[in-house]
Structure 1
């Protein structure tokens, strides 16, 4: 047996979430935005899900977005942080996303609310989610992807090289779209769909972004991070570089978030299945020719 790769310090993540919960304040606009986008995708599914699990429920501030939606009668929250869960009106479970204490085949719907990208074993977490679903149950999730916080990553890297003569990991690596699609298939989900939204947030100053990340418990929890705090001179230079390279004409600075959406179904008898590649009975060229004949002025080639 070999130890699993420890990319993230999960104990530190729990402490950071606890600290954010104790700090209070309304800093959950990003989480609510993610929840609203998941809810829009849920609205596209024309069936009910009486029993649902929300992974990454935090303080329950997004509970009202899903409760009663698409027939949700029981919405169970799950969060790593005891302090976050204590603020949730419930029902809620304090648990690690990597070790879900959920019975197999017990959920009609599982929602992954912007927390699974901090798991050390994302494939394992997805497999557990798939097992927790009833036949024909649905998983909808959102994780941070590839280019998220690219501006901050670039500014910190440039400042550390300039001031300290080297660099250390300061911003988490995030999954790429193609990798996420493969993980869904490996976990056994049927009819998996993966897509990405790019959200651009703007701030009066990059320090406002850092404060926001701290207040939602989303600062650096990489296992191999440098233990010594970032020097003030390096931080200030990073903020200068951020403004120099990315400030907009109005003086505000952007922060990019790639939001990867995951959707997949638990296998069930009679469930629609995609056809194997190469078994189509109509050629793309024939469909395009038919389109041009039926719609005057329609042009274009397959590409």
Structure 2
């Protein structure tokens, strides 16, 4: 299972976020300060150390957390490709702001000495992303290990569980706050899913991050006509597929239930050799152009 084509193509915000997390974590780790940058109700509200809100968002407290966190951020770039960088910037901002506020309110309400300083890192964004991952990414393969049943999504859940429990309660609270923020976004609270930033702000991450590796994407065909997505799929995937059997009806229905055009869903399944997860990625890519 993967998050679509390799690299950060069509995902400049994810690219900038991953680079920033790596740089911040390495720099503060060398200085030996990474364990002191977590959110603290006392520091933010009473000492007004507002700079910690930004630094704690981009800095993981340890190298293992950086590895798992960067992997999950990289995988979840599929959502930026799905909704576009502008709306994804709204999702990122909403997830971080709401989850940070929930963490601070939680500290004040619980009044637990062990939670006086929460672990740092973009837990809000990562665990907000698990909400659309659960609802919108289908399972393409299932397998069993002894008496246990797994799917190709299990590895993402296991990586998330490792990150969620990395510092026990200090990481559990930020993770749960992130899931709650993602749920509020999905419920379209205050119609947040309709909000878009001015293009100047949305393109800031593109200018900030490094250029994508790989060849440029071909120019998309005109958008007039009802079958733009189908033509986009055909234009980007021209390999012969005559040996591929007709896609199963249940696979087509699964993609249609996700909001894709039936003809586009069938063609994507054909080009993906009936791999429903790969077909989903093809369709998501076609929506970006």
On whether the aligned pair clears a TM of 0.5, the verdict is no
TM-score by length of 1: 0.27
Which structure has the larger Rg over C-alpha atoms? 1
If each structure's strand is expressed as a fraction of its own residues, which one has the higher value?
A: 1
